[in-house]
């Protein structure tokens, strides 16, 4: 069994210990998931086979679609969002929030992705997922204003 990551002040009440320990185990699980995602990205890079998702599905006993999503997240984190992957591996960020960052930056350039990651990562650690998604939309819109303007103009032109 892994050790929980518990951060409690010295004067914390004894009643807070079980809850903090439960959170600590969750953070340790995030660390393990981060290392797992990193290894899946290495596997995908080394293999490059069209059957990678099938192998992952069989190994993890999950559906093919779940395996594809897991591999896509792993590769995206390893190649486009290395600081986000590091935050998961450190137990500071859960994989669900990391997937929201990955989804929001998928269409951005590597440079813009790095900017968004830098602006959101510290906030994401303490922010509820719904607020994270809203903040990501605002940041992506700010960073990617030119592309959004071009998309808007294209849609307006199509309506005419």
Q: What is the dihedral of CA 56, 60, 65, 66, to 10 degrees?
A: -120
Report CA 144 to chain centroid distance, whole Å: 20
pLDDT band with cut points at 50, 70 and 90 for residue 3: low
Total number of residues shown for the chain:
160
pLDDT band with cut points at 50, 70 and 90 for residue 90: very high
Round to whole Å and give the CA distance between 37 and 153.
39
Neighbours of 56 (CB within 10 A): 20
Q: Which residues contact 70 (CB under 8 A, 6 or more apart)?
A: 37, 40, 56, 60, 62
pLDDT of residue 4: 65
Task: Compute the average pLDDT of residues 36-53.
Answer: 96
In Å, how far are 74, 103, 104, 154 from 108, measured between CA atoms? Answer: 17, 10, 8, 18
Q: What is the pLDDT of residues 116-158, one digit of tens each?
A: 999 999 999 999 999 999 999 999 999 988 777 777 788 888 8
Q: What Rg do the C-alpha atoms of the chain give, in angstroms?
A: 19
């Amino acid at each position: 069994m892994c050790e929980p990551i518990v951060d409690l002040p010295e004067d914390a009440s004894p009643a807070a210990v079980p809850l903090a320990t439960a959170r600590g185990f969750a953070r340790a699980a995030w660390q393990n998931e981060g290392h797992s995602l990193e290894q899946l990205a290495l596997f995908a890079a080394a293999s490059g086979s069209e059957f990678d998702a099938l192998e992952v599905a069989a190994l993890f006993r999950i559906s093919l679609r779940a395996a594809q999503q897991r591999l896509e997240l792993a590769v995206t984190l390893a190649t486009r969002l290395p600081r986000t992957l590091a935050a998961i591996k450190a137990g500071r960020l859960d994989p669900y929030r990391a997937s929201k960052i990955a989804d929001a930056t998928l269409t951005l350039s590597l440079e813009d992705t790095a900017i968004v990651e830098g602006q959101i990562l510290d906030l994401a650690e303490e922010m509820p997922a719904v607020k994270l998604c809203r903040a990501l939309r605002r940041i992506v819109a700010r960073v990617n204003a030119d592309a959004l303007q071009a998309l808007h103009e294209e849609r307006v032109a199509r309506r005419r």
